[in-house]
Structure 1
Amino acid sequence: MSGAVPSPPPATVHPLNELDYAGVGDGTAPEIRPGVSSWLWQRYGLRIGGVMYRDGVSVNAMSSVTVDLNRSCTSYDALVGVDDMTFGFGSARFSVYGDDTRLWRSGVVRGGEAAVPVHVPLKGQRTIRLVVEPGSAWDTVTVADWAAARISCG
């Protein structure tokens, strides 16, 4: 034996729009926690700022979605913005929490603007919570997107 250290297994990528809900999945991969999570539309094909994204999730601009990671995960990545179905109206602010600590927060993103990239390291986190707040009191029904949202584990 040469004493070489084996390479770690490659990361497993979990698209947010394909996650099971806790109780439906087998508990070995990230799962959306029902009961505490807001309405969530797991989608294929959404548009932010005139750019089409293959997948992602949509929520209202007053939402909180909790994901139990169920394993060691390394990062959360997405592109966030106001869905073009709002015809350029509305605004929102996006946050990512790891357990109970805010790890990332956007500025106010307005309808028609380009998506904002998100990259959040997740080492040591057991859960993530994706929070969207309206940009103003008038924006509570704004449709907000987490496009190309991925959790990398392993």
Structure 2
Amino acid sequence: MVGYQTDEFDNLSVTPVKQAAEAPATLAADLPATIHRGESATLKTTFTVPASGDAATGLTLRPGAPDGWTVTATTPTTFSKVTPGHSVTASWTVTAPTAPATPVSETFTPLTTYVRDGVRHWTYGTAKTEVPIPPPTGSPYLSDLSFVSSSNGWGPVERDTSNGEQAAGDGLPITIRGTVHDKGLGTHTDSDVAFFLGGNCSRFTATVGIDDEVAPYGSVTFSVTADGRTLTTTPVLTGTSQPLPLDLDVTGAQQLHLVIADGGDGNAHDHADWADARLTCAG
């Protein structure tokens, strides 16, 4: 058996005590505004303890690099103590990835962990950089290039496979009326995939059609635009239509869009392929 006792307070009052909070430590980060793919730069962080208050002890600084970046420390990153009013710095060499999926804008979130006034602290900084998409050269397949942007009506745009279902990487080999294509993009209505050409390319070629994984169903139109100008829009193609070759002049274009729209009956079964989509470029 458990017993309980209660207390009663008459005329209880609480008087707030105002006390200024201790000034926080700060972490500043410096990074070049632009780092090209595959190139290296220096990320520098500066941790500062305010002049008032306690020292910081047991410091560890981390770079907070995005996925895919290579990071190598070029200075010490741990410090036993930073006294009030003083700073320490740590630097890393960071190398941008080259994968097609590399984001154009990247944010580093460096972190310092330390003890101050007997309490464990975490202080974050922020540094942003742009990773431009380089102009294509030679005769690249579009499935090997970075997307400026992409939208898709059913799961993500797939590289070198059909659209499949909603998960990434769940497509089958691109197949249109029995012909298998090793390269291309698998999409689904409504879809828009953009590529940076930088004025360096002259031709775009592809074979388009509804993928056999949904045939004989599906109906779509394929459009190609360059810098806002429509270069072609196909007739409605269905799951029984023969593959349609495209060969378009894209001379001087800065940005290319591959667009899929439904054929007027909704987007069910609209798995549309840009088979063997390829550019002819200088360099």
Which residue number in structure 2 is paired with residue 104 of structure 1? 232
The one of 131, 141, 145 aligned to 1:15: 141
Secondary structure of 2:274's match? strand
Deviation for aligned residue 1:114: 1.6
SS in 1 for 2:253: coil
1:1-154 equivalence runs, <5 A: 12-19=138-145, 21=146, 32-34=147-149, 37-38=150-151, 39-43=156-160, 45-154=173-282
Unpaired runs of 5+ residues, structure 2, are 1-136, 162-172
Give deviations 1:89-130, integer Å, cap 9, x for gaps. 011100000110001111000003221011110111101101
> Aligned partners of 2:268 and 2:196: how far apart in 1?
26
| 8 A contact 2:219–2:265 mirrored in 1 | no
Aligned equivalents of 1:87 and 1:116: distance in 2? 15
SS of match in other structure, 1:86: coil
How far apart, in 2, do the equivalents of 1:133 and 1:76 lie? 20
Higher strand share: 1
Structure 2 distance, partners of 1:141, 1:97, is: 24
Q: Is the 8 A contact 1:81 1:110 kept in 2?
A: yes
CA distance in structure 1 between the partners assigned to 2:250 and 2:262 by the alignment = 25
CA distance in 2, matches of 1:60, 1:53: 17
Residue deviations 1:3-28, cap 9 Å, x none?
xxxxxxxx710101111x3xxxxxxx
Taking the aligned partners of 1:144 and 1:136, their CA distance within structure 2 comes to 15
Q: RMSD over aligned Cα, in angstroms?
A: 1.5
SS at match of 2:213: helix
Residue pair 2:139, 2:279 contacting (<8 A) in 1 also: yes
Structure 1 Cα separation of the partners of residues 269 and 240 of structure 2: 16
Would the aligned equivalents of 2:189 and 2:270 in 1 still touch at CA under 8 Å? yes
Query: Between Structure 1 and Structure 2, how many residues are aligned?
Result: 131
C-alpha distance in structure 2 between counterparts of 1:13 and 1:134, whole Å: 30
Greater Cα shift, 75-84 or 49-58 = 49-58
1:140 deviates by 4.7
- Structure 1 residues 128 and 140: CA distance shift in structure 2, 3 A: farther
**Distance (Å, rounded) in 2 between the aligned partners of 1:60 and 1:93:** 11
| Deviation, structure 1 residue 142 | 1.0
Counterpart AA for 2:195: V
TM-score by length of structure 2 reads: 0.44
Which structure exhibits the higher relative contact order, with contacts defined as CA atoms closer than 8 Å and separated by 6 or more residues?
Answer: 1
Q: Secondary structure at the match of 1:12?
A: coil
Q: Which range is displaced more, 143-152 or 48-57?
A: 48-57
Range with greater deviation from structure 2 (92-101 or 45-54) = 45-54
How does the TM-score come out when normalised to structure 1? 0.79
Structure 1: gaps of 5 or more residues: 1-10, 22-31
